[in-house]
Amino acid sequence: MRIGLRHSALLVALLLLPMAAAAQQRSQPAAKPPAAKPAEQPAPEPTAPPYEPQLLQLSEIMGSLAYLRTLCGGREAQDWRARMSALIEAEGRTPQRRDRLTSAFNRGFKAYSLTHRSCTEASQEASSRLAAEGEVLSRALAGRYGG
């Protein structure tokens, strides 16, 4: 049984809410991480849904959070991999689509692993910002395509 975008986007939105709330509580001014070049998105397959770019962006955010929360010893650090697996299960209708979602997650993970070697205020700030961005994106996806 496949879960549609409505369910997967709502699931992701609900999973991101605790992160955004925690991020707002501990938000501290910190140095902004160096601007990364926008990741080149693979061309979507002809049957890709219209929300594919946003879903890939959300996958990349989840990869970044998986790295940063692990680096900083967050209680929910390993949850991000499980959340990504659930998203792939719900949205990975073809091997190509699963590969794109996985690649986006890995890009996000690798991008921060290159510049953050230890947990710093900047790492925590990046994590907070990413959680907030992911929450906004997942809510937008659920609102627009969820039902």
pLDDT tens-digit map of 71-129: 999 888 889 999 999 999 999 889 999 999 999 999 999 999 999 999 999 999 999 99
Q: With 80 as the cut, is the pLDDT of residue 68 above it?
A: yes
Q: With 90 as the cut, is the pLDDT of residue 56 above it?
A: yes
| 126 within a domain of the structure (yes/no) | yes
Domains in the chain: how many in total? 1
Only one residue has tokens 């990413």, namely 130
| 46 within a domain of the structure (yes/no) | no
Rg (CA), the chain: 15
Q: Please, are residues 78 and 32 in contact by the beta-carbon 8 Å criterion?
A: no
| 47 within a domain of the structure (yes/no) | no
Q: Residue 70 is which amino acid?
A: T
| 45 within a domain of the structure (yes/no) | no
Give the Cα separation of 17 and 23 in Å (integer).
10
Give the Cα separation of 125 and 130 in Å (integer).
9
Choose between 120 and 18: higher pLDDT: 120
| 59 within a domain of the structure (yes/no) | yes
Choose between 1 and 100: higher pLDDT: 100
Choose between 74 and 52: higher pLDDT: 52
- Residue-number span of the structural domain to which 128 is assigned: 5-28+52-145
| 42 within a domain of the structure (yes/no) | no
Q: Residue 67 is which amino acid?
A: Y
> Which phi and psi (to 5°) does residue 97 adopt?
-70, -45
Q: With 90 as the cut, is the pLDDT of residue 11 above it?
A: no
| 128 within a domain of the structure (yes/no) | yes
